[in-house]
Amino acid sequence: MTAQREEFLRTEEASEYLGGIPSGSLRAWRHQRKGPKSFKLGGVVRYRKSDLDAWIAQQYETSVVGDEVVTS
In the prediction, which pLDDT does 68 show?
64
Is the per-residue pLDDT at 72 higher than 80?
Answer: no
Residues 44 and 10: beta-carbon distance below 8 Å: yes
**Mean pLDDT, rounded, for 46-62:** 93
Residue 55 CB contacts under 8 Å (≥ 6 apart), including other chains: 35, 36, 37
Higher pLDDT, 17 or 64: 17
**Could you tell me the residue ranges of all domains in the chain?**
8-66
Confidence at residue 46, expressed as pLDDT on a 0 to 100 scale:
98
In angstroms, rounded to a whole number, what is the distance separating the alpha carbons of residues 53 and 72?
A: 21
* pLDDT for 3: 52
User: Is it true that domain 8-66 has CATH number 3.40.1350?
Assistant: no
Distance CA 15, CA 36 (A): 11
State the Cα–Cα distance between residues 68 and 32, nearest whole angstrom: 29
Q: What is the mean pLDDT of residues 34-63?
A: 94
Q: pLDDT tens for residues 15-27?
A: 999 999 999 999 9
